Every structure is written in structure tokens, then in C-alpha cells.
Structure 1
Amino acid sequence: MSLPSSGAHRHFIGLMSGTSLDGVDGVLVAFAADGQLQLLQHASRPFADELRAELLALNTAGDNELHRSALAANALAHVYADVVRSLLTQGGMAAADIAAIGAHGQTVRHRPHEFDATGYTIQLNNPALLAELSGVSVVADFRTRDLAAGGQGAPLVPAFHRGVFGRDDRTVAVLNLGGIANLSVLRADGGVLGFDCGPANALMDYWCHRHTGQWYDAGGAWAAQGSIDVRLLAAMLREPFLDLQPPKSTGRDLFNPSWLEQHLALQPDAPIQAKDVQATLAELTALACANDVKRHAADAKTLIVCGGGALNHFLMGRIAAHLPGVQVESSQSHGIDPQQVEAAAFAWLARQCLLGLPGNLASVTGAAGPRILGAIHPA
């Protein structure tokens, strides 16, 4: 990955807790003098059930939200700090050896361009507390500057994908399957398109936990036992967001349990078996993503998949089934564990901020132009 050289800013930590709400992934990365990125360490921490439930609840309106959000942000900062300590221990490094932490925060609302034409995006975080706990400078609040410049504030990872996975001889598509699915289209000429496709793990995880008590469908084994309900699938595929042209982004504000329950309530026959709903949700994700690859990356012969959904073998198989002639493979085959890609992207974004370089791509978010993203909280 080629980046501007800088001897001063070499080691960074990236932290990501995504819309899947499974916990925090962190990476310790090094940037060589020639700008090449090297992943040194990875650490993760699951959310305690209480924190997970509160973060999920804060995605919708509720009592005493400001108080609860502040306390949830504090709790999240402590989980972040625990991951940072683990990374430093594993790497045999001290806080003073790290230029900065890129801490994304936990998205609980994402409503770009709505209400007053600007809208808002909210990531719960307490970067000042994290700086105190870790002794490392923290870069946070990456999305709001892009939003202020007329962009969606998301997705931000396509610029990173370009450096890591881009080729100068072919178009490459990169699909991130977190709570929401987002696609990066990396053209041979350096052009980049990126946008959210629709739901990924958010709905599948909700349904799995409700009916099995497990937080996610490991390997997609439960979905594989079910059958796709074609009428439910057709109804969900009529969601207008799926046919919007990019730039576009979404989240749990749209694809949430209420959205799913409304569709289930409208089905005319007897209740659909739970495992069949799970299979249908996987097919919804697979079709939404495959359709966007066909629309926007028709010349791509490779689809690189990252995020937790890359470990869902059933989902990966369904995506591949809808994309004959395209090699669908985990980012692991390209040197980066699928669980580490987004965390590494926020380490890169923190470095961009410290170097005074843009972190967004206007071709992706629709912003008025390139912007330096992030607010710095010095150690």
C-alpha cells in the first residue's frame, strides 16, 4: 500500500466497533518509510451483554437518551483502552511508541441530508477518556466533516481499500460485510466508487439471537438448514434504498428489527419458520450485494470480501452463486484477516489526519471535495 512518507508517524492503532455490535477489533500497524503498511498485532474484545444491549437500544428513541449515551460512551472507551493495552503488550511497545489511535466509535444514528438538508451522524465515543486511559493521542469523529461538506459521511473505507487491494490492470470489487454491507469498486485507472448496499449481519444476528440465543449464526449453519421464502424475499427487495443510485449510505435507522417485523406481518400465509426467515435474510444480503456488483462493477472478475460476514460460509456461497464468472474470496487470501480490515482503515485515517491529508473520497461520499477527517485529542 503506497502512502506519503513520514518518518515521524510510524506506528498507529486502529479500533473499530461496527454496526454488528459484536465487540471491538483493534490492530497495531506500522507504516514504513516508503509508505507500505504492515499489520503487526490484532486484538479483540466482545461486548458484555449489558453494554451490547444498551448500544442496540440507543439506536432508537428512548428515555433519558443523553445520560445513557454518555455512560455508554464511557464504557466503550474502557473496552477500547483494554484492547489498546493488549496490543501494546503483544507488540512489546509503550504508549509513547504510538503516534495515535484511530477510534471510530459506535454508530447509533446515521441520517445524512435529512431534516435540515445537512442531517447528522452520531458515533458514541469518549476519545478524551481514551487518551487519558491509554496515554496515546486519539483521533476520532471521522465522519462529521465529510457530512458538513455535503457528503454522506460514509463509507470511508474505500480510500483505504484502494491502497490495499487496488490493481492498475483490472477492476477489483471489495465487499465489507459488517452490520451493513458496503461495496468499493476500484478501477484500474485509480477511480473509486463506494456505497452501502443494504443489510448484512445486523438483521441476521438479530433474528438468530431472538430464536437461538446465539449472538450470530456461526458459519451460516442455521440459515443453511432453512429454505428461502420467495414472497418474503420479493417484498424485502422492494425496499427503495436498494435501488437508489450512489452516493448512498444507511444503517440500523432503516434496516432494524421493526423493518423486518413489518415485512413478516404482511405475509399472507401461516408464520414462516424461523430458520426459513434466516435463510431469506441471507439471500436478501446476497442478492443486494450481487446486484450492485453487476450494476457498478460489471467488469470485475474478483470480489474480495471482508468483515465478519466473510466467515459466513452460507452467505459467501449465495453471493458466489449470483455472480458466476466472479471469484468471490475472503480478504484473507489477499493478506489481511477479514476481521482486521476496518480497524486497519481507521489506523490509516488517523495517520492521514496527523499528516494533514484528506481521508475521504468525494467520488464515494458525494462531498464537495477532499477533506481532512478527524478531531485530535493529544495524549
Structure 2
Amino acid sequence: MLTQLATERPLRTLGLMSGTSVDGVDVALIETDGERIASYGPSLTVPYADEVRRTIRAAFGAEQVSEATRAAERAVTEAHADAVRRWSSEQGVPLSTVDLVGFHGQTITHRPERRFTWQIGDGAALARALGVRVINELRIADVAAGGQGAPLVPAYHAALVRDLPRPLAVVNIGGVANVTWVGADGALLAFDTGPGNGPIDDWCARRAGQRYDKDGALAASGKVDRARLERFGEHRYFARTPPKSLDRGDFNDAWAEGLSAADGAATLTRGTARAIALAARHFPAPVLQWVVCGGGARNPTLLSAIAEETHGKVVTAADLGWDGDALEAQAFAFLAVRSLRGLPLTYPTTTGAPRPMTGGRLSEP
């Protein structure tokens, strides 16, 4: 019944996202038919409790089920259910009016070269808890077919920029940073550019006793180690032809070791910007502007570093009227409807899959 409805009208769909930074759960409502966005609804971010964050981190890198992964999956599922209930209560939107939930889950291991990716989160349990249909496991089919399984957001980026001058690049900076190049004709190319906030966050936690570099203040007070930056820019990943993707741990903060807290933050921040600039060598045509979203869009030091490194026009999602904080959650709502309709989620030029790939697992309440 719902599949038939999906082809006839936009569905009120909730998207749920928890990124590699393990900050918390983003909840966002959109109405979409999986091709166009009919309207945007309210969104909410609910931070993870420290205990939940520790439980999730204890499962990072796992490749088989263990007590640690079971505990993390329970914690993730319960945190998502709680976040949705809180969103429903605070926004005054009854869950009975929601048609579908797109549930990304929490990536704990991503090894596409071994055709393995793992997003923990129990879709069936979430559907029962909320009384709403849930679609999850949106990466698995792509990776099983030989794709990178990431980034998944390009199909949504293409819908967002439909009316903007192109070519342009949308850069999402979470723990890892990724880019979607959208051509004048709507052609897509997408890949992970390199580190995002992950190494900066780790550095701040280890060296400055803070969870992240708020407003880029620590980096702004430091000096970039240029010699280290040049060596970093020679990393073989940057020369590799896309599509390509990364695990959260593939780039870390070790290359800043030995620097002061401020200089290390400055150098790592410039490294993230340098990696984004190096992505442009793979674009089929130069871009008219770079649109930055994700947590990195709130770091003015990082934004100015990107502008300097790319020598381009850099705007944030907020500058365009998008809700940058809700963007990835909205994307998973969009992808859930595409999954329901059997439309492609990924393409050879976004993940390296052998053909346009559908995917996702539907759980009934």
C-alpha cells in the first residue's frame, strides 16, 4: 500500500542520522517523493549521553558480533527512539502522521575494499518502538556489489541544488569530509576528500581537554606547520581516482604529534582544508562555488582555510537557506523514500558501484 502511495504523493518522512563524530542523533522531517522535496519540516539534534558515546566507541572497528557490539546497538537504537519521541513532543507532531523513517544507524566499521560495512541499529526494534515503518541498512547492497557505500548523500545534494548555477561542489564535513560535484547537466561525482573534524576533535580531546574546537578558536590561536602540511598533502589517498571512501580511523591526528595544542589544531584544520582543495583535481570541470555543510560549517577558521586553499567562492549551507545541521538527516529521509520506490541510492560515479544501486531494509511496526 505504502509503495503505491509513494508514487502518488510526497511522503512525510523522518530522517535519522548519527555521524562518525558520535555527537548525537539528528532528526529531521521532509515531505518528498524521492525526486523532489515538497517541503521541509522541523528538526532537532539530541546529543548522546557520555555513557552512550563511550559504549559506541568501544564497538568501533568490530567485524563480528560481540557483547560490545550488542551493547552499542541497544544503546544506539534506544537513543534514536528517545530522540524521535522528544522531537515529536517538542515539535507537536504526532508520530501517527509520519509515513516512514529513514534510519542510518551508527557506522562502527567501514571496509569497502573487503565488501564490509557495518551500521549498528536495530530497524525492526525501532519500528516497533515508534509504531512507524523504518528503512535502514542503506549502504549494505552497494558495498556488497563492490561499491564504496559512501558517500550516500549525493542523490539528495542533486535535488537540493537543482535550481542553482552549476557546476558546484557540496562539501559535507563530519568526522570524515566528502564532496559531491554536480555538473551543469546534473551529472554527479562524489567521494570522501579526506579527514573532516575527526582528527581535530581527537586532538582537542587529547591535548586541550575539550570535545571539539569550538568556533575554531584553538586553531585560530596557533600557527600552521607548513612542512608537515606539505608532507600530508602527498598522502597517496589524494591522488587516487574516485569514487573512493574512508573509515573514520584512516586519517588521525598523529601527524601533528610534537606540536603545541594550538599549533596542532591549526595544522590539522589546514590539513582538512588542503584535502578538500586537492579534491578539485578530480572534478570534470571547475566549480562556481563550494557549499560547506555539516559540523565543519560552524568552524570559521576551517571555512577561511578552505577559501584560501581552494582559491574559490565558499558559502555555507545556511547562506543558501538550507538547514545545515539537519541536512544529512533530511538526506536519509529522502533516501528512504527512494528505497521504498526502488529508485537508485548510489551510482557508479558516486560510490564506484557497478551500476545504479537500490538498497535498504524495510521493517514494519
- TM-score normalised to structure 1 length: 0.90
1:244 is aligned to: 240
In 2, Cα distance between the equivalents of 1:55 and 1:123? Answer: 11
Letter in 2 for 1:24: V
Question: Are 1:355 and 2:341 an aligned pair?
Answer: yes
Question: How far apart are 1:237 and its partner, in Å?
Answer: 2.4
**Contact 1:166–1:186 at 8 Å: present in 2 too?**
no
Aligned residues: 361
How big is each residue's C-alpha offset from its partner over 1:98-156, in whole Å with a ceiling of 9 and x where there is no partner?
11111101111111123xxxx20111111121112111111000001011222111111
3-state SS of the aligned residue for 1:104? strand
1:74 is aligned to: 74
Q: 1:34 to 1:105 in 2, by over 3 A?
A: closer
Q: 1:373 to 1:32 in 2, by over 3 A?
A: closer
Matches within 5 A, 1:287-306: 287-296=274-283, 298-306=285-293
**Contact 1:146–1:373 at 8 Å: present in 2 too?**
yes
3-state SS of the aligned residue for 2:310? coil
Matches within 5 A, 1:129-208: 129-167=125-163, 169-208=165-204
Question: How far apart are 1:5 and its partner, in Å?
Answer: 7.0
How big is each residue's C-alpha offset from its partner over 1:2-59, in whole Å with a ceiling of 9 and x where there is no partner?
xx97445520000100011111111011237994332211111111112212322322
Letter in 2 for 1:315: L
Question: How far apart are 1:290 and its partner, in Å?
Answer: 1.2
Question: How far apart are 1:214 and its partner, in Å?
Answer: 1.6
In 2, Cα distance between the equivalents of 1:86 and 1:43? Answer: 9
What 5-or-longer segments of structure 1 have no aligned partner? Answer: 266-270
Question: Are 1:276 and 2:263 an aligned pair?
Answer: yes
1:58 is aligned to: 59
In 1, Cα distance between the equivalents of 2:35 and 2:91? Answer: 22
**Contact 2:171–2:180 at 8 Å: present in 1 too?**
yes
In 2, Cα distance between the equivalents of 1:321 and 1:297? Answer: 21
How big is each residue's C-alpha offset from its partner over 1:259-311, in whole Å with a ceiling of 9 and x where there is no partner?
x33x356xxxxx32121111000010001101212541652111111100000
How big is each residue's C-alpha offset from its partner over 1:294-345, in whole Å with a ceiling of 9 and x where there is no partner?
5416521111111000000000000011222x22011112221211111000
2:210 is aligned to: 214
State the superposition RMSD in angstroms: 2.2
**Contact 1:7–1:33 at 8 Å: present in 2 too?**
no
Q: 1:52 to 1:297 in 2, by over 3 A?
A: farther
Letter in 2 for 1:93: V
Matches within 5 A, 1:78-157: 78-114=78-114, 119-157=115-153
What 5-or-longer segments of structure 2 have no aligned partner? Answer: none
Question: Are 1:375 and 2:354 an aligned pair?
Answer: no
**Contact 1:166–1:187 at 8 Å: present in 2 too?**
no
In 2, Cα distance between the equivalents of 1:79 and 1:308? Answer: 20
In 1, Cα distance between the equivalents of 2:78 and 2:35? Answer: 34
Q: 1:264 to 1:315 in 2, by over 3 A?
A: closer
Match for residue 251 of structure 2 among 250, 255, 275:
255
1:310 is aligned to: 297
Letter in 1 for 2:289: T
Matches within 5 A, 1:304-343: 304-324=291-311, 326-343=312-329
In 2, Cα distance between the equivalents of 1:283 and 1:34? Answer: 36
